[in-house]
Amino acid sequence: MLLALDIGNTNIVVGVFRDDCLLQSWRLSTQRQRTADEMGMWVLQLFQHGQLAPREVDGVVMASVVPTLTRPTVEMAKRYFDRLPLVVEAGVDTGMPILYEPPSDVGADRIVNGVAAYERYGRPDGRALIVVDFGTATTFDAISARGEYLGGVICPGVNISADALFQRAARLPRVDVRRPESVIGRTTVGSIQSGLFFGYIGLVEGIVQRLRRELGDSVACIATGGLAEMIASDTPMIDAVDRDLTLHGLRLIWNRNKGTKG
């Protein structure tokens, strides 16, 4: 079995594969000060809940954009699974040419998403891709039909926008991000929800349209991340939602780098 961990600013996503089959996956909130032992006990509890045997894990792969959790997670893998994990970072063979300046500036999660999207949606049909990840930041990544990472767009995530509005406008309440019943808000909460939700739909549609014009005719848009399903349900610009895209990218990179762990 392969243990895959995607450590993001808002969530940590954990997945367990047997060969190419994703057996279980979990999404939990990121707590930046966890120790290796806390991470270990947390992952072992997930294994127990999923009725999985930790001793069957023969590989660990991870991507992290939270430096304070990278080292504790590496230590956790060694201490609780007796495995030195493959950390997706500069120098790891991802199989995807990075046309970004400098290549090391691209977040590991964005490359992992690109690898998975190209293998699952791009290569079979010979088309370019736009990958939208609705995380703490909303990222748009462009992948060529030849499987090259071209670059992309980084925007504040919708929850960051909601928090900023609450913090900077003294009389406006904090609201949950959800689809309101109508665009015209008849309450303050409804008006804020409309602005956040439909404003974000407009942002996504506008950027995807512009990326499609730059990439050419045959382009598919794949969405992932915590809010992907909610946003995708209200716009025709997104062709598919793949909530486990990052985990599959980690698996693909692990398969490519077997024997060069660490």
Number of other CB atoms surrounding residue 22 within 10 Å: 15
3-state SS assignment for residue 259: coil
**Which one of 109, 133, 141, 242 is the catalytic residue?**
109
Find tokens 């991000």 and name the residue: 177
What span, in angstroms and rounded, lies between the C-alpha atoms of 126 and 97? 16
d(CA 193, CA 212): 28
Strands 137-143 and 2-7: unpaired
- As a whole number of angstroms, the distance between CA 159 and CA 157 comes to 5
- Distance CA(211)–CA(129), nearest Å, equals 10
Please tell me the distance from the alpha carbon of residue 2 to that of residue 206, in angstroms, as a whole number.
Answer: 38
Residue 105 is a catalytic residue: no
* Angstrom distance (rounded) from CA 49 to CA 11: 19
- How far is residue 172's CA from residue 164's CA, in Å, rounded to a whole number? 11
Angle at which helices 108-117 and 245-257 cross, to 10°: 90
Catalytic positions are 109
